[in-house]
Amino acid sequence: MESRFDLAYNAAHALCLAALRAKGYRARHRYIVFQVLPHTLGLGPEVWRVFDKAHPQRNVAEYEGVLDVDERLVTDLIAACEIVAGKLGNIP
């Protein structure tokens, strides 16, 4: 479960970062790419709140070595990534 979370979170970050860069911007902080999803891809809270929930868990895992995720979060994270990927493919 931990590796699935890690892979899904990193995919989410990469996809959201690609959307931000496609609009001509860069982020200094990792979290910004999730916060601006309504502006970069027109996505609502049903998507970015999943990333909002996953981000602190990623930080605890990264900096403290503790990862406690459940399957529901991983499933929601993957589903949100699929939505972002679909929207990203429509950027002119």
Q: Is 26 left (phi over 0), alpha (psi -120 to 50) or beta?
A: beta
For the cut 70, the answer to whether the pLDDT of residue 92 exceeds it is no
Please provide the DSSP assignment of 41-73 as one string.
Answer: T---HHHHHHHHHHHHHHHHHHHH------HHH
Estimate the share of the chain in helix, then strand, then coil, as percent rounded to the nearest 5: 75, 0, 25
Q: At 54, is the pLDDT very low, low, confident or very high (cuts 50, 70, 90)? A: very high
Q: What is the pLDDT of residue 77?
A: 97
pLDDT, tens only, 5-23: 999 999 999 999 999 999 9
User: pTM of the predicted model, to two decimals?
Assistant: 0.90
pLDDT, tens only, 19-51: 999 999 998 888 899 999 999 999 999 999 999
Q: Distances in Å between the alpha carbon of 62 and those of 6, 28, 57, 89?
A: 10, 18, 9, 30
